[in-house]
Structures are given as C-alpha cells and as structure tokens.
C-alpha cells in the first residue's frame, strides 16, 4: 500500500465518514442540552449565589465517573503538539509529556487534595487569597489568566479545520473557537462537563484505533526500530538531560493548574477528587502510549510529512471508511474538550477573580470574559505562528517558576508566608524569566533555561523577604 506525505482530505473522506463525524458532534450538543435540562429541574431562580455556584462548580456535585471523564478529556487539547514531538523525537514525548506529569498527578492526589479541601474555595486565585492574602489573590488571578489562555488549543483546532476543509489556519481558528464560545456561554461548567463525557469516550477510542490498525498493518516494535532513528528510543530525545528536566518542572505546574483545582472544588467529596485523579492518571498513561506510538508509526511510514499534521495525515490513510470519521471526531473531541475548559476558566478568572467585590459573580462579565479570551487566544496563536510546543514552554516556564513554588511552600509551611512576601517573590520570578528570555547570554549561560533562573529568583525572593522581616522585628 502506498502512503502519501500530503493528502487532499476532501478526496479521502467519504460520505460515511461525514455521517459518523457529524453524528458525534450532534451527540455532544445533545449532552450539553441534557445537562442544562437537569440544572433547570433543580434551579433556584431567586437564589443568585446558588445559581452562580452551579455556573462555576456545578453545585459541587461532580461524581467520580463525571470527574474522571472531564479531567481526562480536558488534558489533551494539544494533540498536534504531543504528536509533533513524538514524530520528531520519539519516546522523548512520553517522558516529557507523560511520565513527568504522572508524578505531578500522584502528588496532587495524595498530598494536595486534602490540603485544598479545607479551604472551600471557588477558584485557584480564591484559594491563594485564603492562604496568603488579598494582594496574592489578585496577582495569582493575573497569572491564572495568562496560564489558561488556550493558545495551543486554538492553534490545534485551526490546524484540524484547515486540514479537513482546506481553509486558512486563521479561518479555522475563528470558526472553531466561535462554536466553542457559544456552547460554553450557554451552560458554564455544566456544559463543559457534559460535553466532556462524550468527548472522553470518543478521543480515547480514537487514538486506540489508530494504534491497533498500525500494529495490524506494519507489526510491532521491530518495525519501528527498523525504520526510525536511534534517538527516537532515547528518553532524552538527543537534547540532553538538562533540557529534558525542564519539562519535569513544567509538569509540576500541574500543582497550580486551575483546571485541576476547578474539578477538585466541584467534586462531591475529597475521596472522589483523590480517586478520580488516580484513575485519570492510569487512563492518561494508556492514552500517551497510543499517541506516542501512533506518531512514531507516522514517522516510520511518511517521514517527510509536516510534523504538526503528520499524525492526522497518517491516520486517515490507514483507517477504513466510517472508522476514519470516528477518529477524526476523536481528534476534534480531544481539542474541543480542552479548549472549552480553558475558555471557561479564563472567563471565570475575569468575572470573579479579577473584579472588585461588588462586581464578583456577574454572569454578564463571565460571558464577556469568555469572548475576550477567545479573541486574545486567536491573536496569540498568530503571534506564536502556530508553534504549540513554544506556547507550552513559554507559559509553563512562567507558571512553574513564579506561582508553583510560593503555593507549594504555603502548603508545606502553612501561615508562614505573608501576603506581600508572596507578591514580591512571584514578581521577582516574572521579571527574571522575562529578562532571561530576551537578553543575549554569554558562553555557559546560554544553556541555562529561563525556568531554572525563575525558580532561583522566586526562592531567593521568599527567603530574602522573610529574613528582612525577621530583622526588622
């Protein structure tokens, strides 16, 4: 069988594929409407606080199956980013986008969940405010806003729509993001959760089918070893240990990821949150095996294909009609399930965390926040020129170095870090990372990543501020 490195999607996608593809989209929409119908049965029309709590956290009624479905689905919107890394560097992708993250997930489940539960917070900045103070809450809201800008997922959606329908990537980003904005505006967190239930099953089965058909056509590991560079089987992917470990620190930014916290806050109990994260970790492990191996098969079969679309180009050629439409819907579901979550969190950050007390909880501001975030994400997608890996690296460096350490120290030493101490250390980290990214460095320092310098600066900021405070006393 002859495989092409570039294809015309319109010529290869059959009527059966389109029927399956759009049926899944309609099923997703139906689930959103169903979720809203359940809300209306229990809605307390005159209780604004209850209704806003439902908008933000689904009334803290997230059961274990729902928790797992929405958490797993939210985490893989950058599928073209991870498959690009796997296509170019093999199992390096599994190490940097999988293994490091599993460590962070388990730490969160076993140690962070029980510390978070007692605060009864609504959002991550709200939690930070309860731990450190009002200034820390406002600063973390700003960090949170930039951390949840769904740039990578808007790019992924643009790439998929461009590939399938032949439009420009900008047009694809505009169309796809507009649809997601509309249904996120309609139902808030409830719409995100109920759409994720469908998207969870479709995305997991989709990547599994690509791997199964790959093994059936070409064989197992022996085929990959015979057709891939040796570096594709190196944990460091040929870039060295220091660069690889940077991704380990970025993975730890999960410990301050607002999507994780939102679902923990929404869970029915601490036990649901803890067990839900552990079950999700097992599913992510299996999912990462499928995406990494699938992209490595793509590299072995069509090595000259564009790396950001190679997995998609490969998948549609090895799959039969009908299954092809299902997998395309699975890839779309993978992106949508993350994009809607990030839009929701960003809208919440604008309408709740950034607003003065008298304006907090206004649904109109929540709607405005989602629209503004969607437009800003499209603009930043153009600025980053569609480079998903660079988006993750940039935002992850700021999050891991400037917000992660103060929050972790706050868990370890409760009550020891003061409000202005948190602000001083975090801002020092931001300034250091920004400077390090934009100056010309001599010799050895060229190999020192900005993330490491940000961690050093934030840690020193916490220590120095604390020592000065003690000296003044």
What confidence category does residue 253 fall into, taking pLDDT thresholds of 50, 70 and 90?
Answer: confident
Whether 83 is in a domain gets the answer yes
At residue 29, the pLDDT reads 85
Q: Which of 333, 453, 401 is nearest to 72 (CA)?
A: 333
Mean pLDDT over each residue of the chain, to the nearest integer: 85
Looking at residue 150, the DSSP 8-state letter turns out to be -
Whether 428 is in a domain gets the answer no
Task: Kindly state the tokens that stand for 161.
Answer: 């729509």
Domain boundaries, position 74: 9-386
At 100, which CATH number? 1.20.1730.10
Beta-bridged to residue 62, according to DSSP, are 267
Whether 236 is in a domain gets the answer yes
Note the pTM of the prediction, 2 decimals. 0.84
Spatial distance between the Cα atoms of 57 and 189, rounded to a whole number of angstroms: 6
Whether 24 is in a domain gets the answer yes
> For the ranges 229-243, 350-364, 365-379, which has the lowest average pLDDT?
350-364
Whether 360 is in a domain gets the answer yes
Whether 391 is in a domain gets the answer no
Alpha carbon of 288 to those of 64, 349, 450: distances in Å?
Answer: 22, 30, 27
**How many domains are contained in the chain?**
1
Whether 196 is in a domain gets the answer yes
At residue 46, the pLDDT reads 52
Report pLDDT digits (tens) over 130-177. Answer: 999 999 998 888 888 877 788 888 888 888 888 888 888 889 889 888
Whether 227 is in a domain gets the answer yes
What confidence category does residue 179 fall into, taking pLDDT thresholds of 50, 70 and 90?
Answer: confident
At residue 245, the pLDDT reads 83
Spatial distance between the Cα atoms of 314 and 310, rounded to a whole number of angstroms: 6
Task: Kindly state the tokens that stand for 372.
Answer: 């503004």
Helix (H) or strand (E) segment spanning residue 164: helix 151-165
């Amino acid at each position: 069988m002859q495989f092409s490195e570039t294809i015309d999607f319109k010529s290869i996608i059959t009527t059966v594929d389109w029927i399956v593809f759009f049926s899944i989209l309609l099923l997703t929409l139906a689930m959103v409407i169903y979720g809203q119908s359940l809300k209306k049965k229990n809605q307390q029309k005159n209780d604004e606080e209850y209704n806003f709590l439902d908008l933000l956290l689904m009334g803290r009624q997230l059961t274990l199956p729902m928790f797992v479905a929405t958490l797993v689905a939210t985490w893989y919107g950058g599928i073209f980013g991870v498959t690009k890394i796997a296509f170019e560097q093999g199992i390096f992708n599994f190490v940097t986008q999988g293994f490091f993250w599993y460590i962070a997930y388990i730490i969160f489940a076993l140690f962070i969940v029980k510390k978070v539960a007692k605060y009864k917070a609504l959002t991550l900045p709200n939690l930070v405010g309860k731990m450190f103070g009002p200034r820390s809450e406002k600063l973390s809201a700003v960090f949170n806003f930039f951390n949840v800008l769904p740039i990578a997922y808007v790019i992924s959606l643009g790439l998929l729509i461009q590939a399938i329908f032949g439009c420009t990537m900008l047009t694809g980003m505009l169309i796809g993001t507009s649809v997601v904005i509309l249904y996120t505006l309609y139902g808030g967190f409830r719409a995100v959760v109920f759409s994720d239930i469908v998207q969870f099953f479709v995305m997991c089965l989709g990547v599994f089918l690509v791997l199964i058909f790959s093994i059936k056509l070409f064989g197992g590991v022996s085929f990959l070893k015979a057709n891939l560079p040796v570096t594709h089987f190196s944990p460091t992917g040929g870039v060295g240990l220091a660069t690889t470990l940077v991704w380990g620190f970025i993975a730890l930014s999960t410990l301050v990821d607002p999507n994780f916290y939102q679902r923990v806050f929404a869970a029915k109990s601490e036990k649901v949150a803890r067990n839900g994260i552990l079950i999700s970790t097992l599913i992510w492990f299996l999912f990462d095996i499928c995406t990494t191996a699938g992209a490595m098969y793509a590299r072995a079969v069509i090595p000259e294909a564009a790396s950001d679309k190679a997995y998609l180009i490969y998948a549609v050629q090895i799959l039969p009609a009908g299954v092809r439409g299902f997998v395309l819907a699975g890839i779309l579901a993978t992106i949508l399930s993350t994009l809607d979550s990030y839009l929701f969190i960003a809208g919440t950050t604008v309408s709740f965390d950034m607003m003065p007390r008298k304006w907090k909880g206004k649904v109109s501001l929540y709607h405005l926040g989602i629209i503004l975030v969607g437009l800003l994400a499209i603009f930043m997608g153009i600025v980053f020129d569609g480079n998903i890996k660079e988006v993750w690296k940039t935002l992850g460096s700021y999050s891991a170095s400037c917000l992660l350490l103060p929050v972790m120290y706050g868990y370890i030493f409760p009550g020891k870090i003061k409000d202005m101490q948190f602000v001083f250390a975090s801002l020092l980290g931001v300034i250091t990372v920004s400077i390090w990214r934009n100056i010309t460095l001599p010799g050895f320092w060229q190999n020192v990543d900005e993330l490491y310098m940000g961690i050093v600066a934030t840690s020193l900021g916490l220590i120095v501020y604390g020592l000065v405070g003690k000296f003044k006393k």
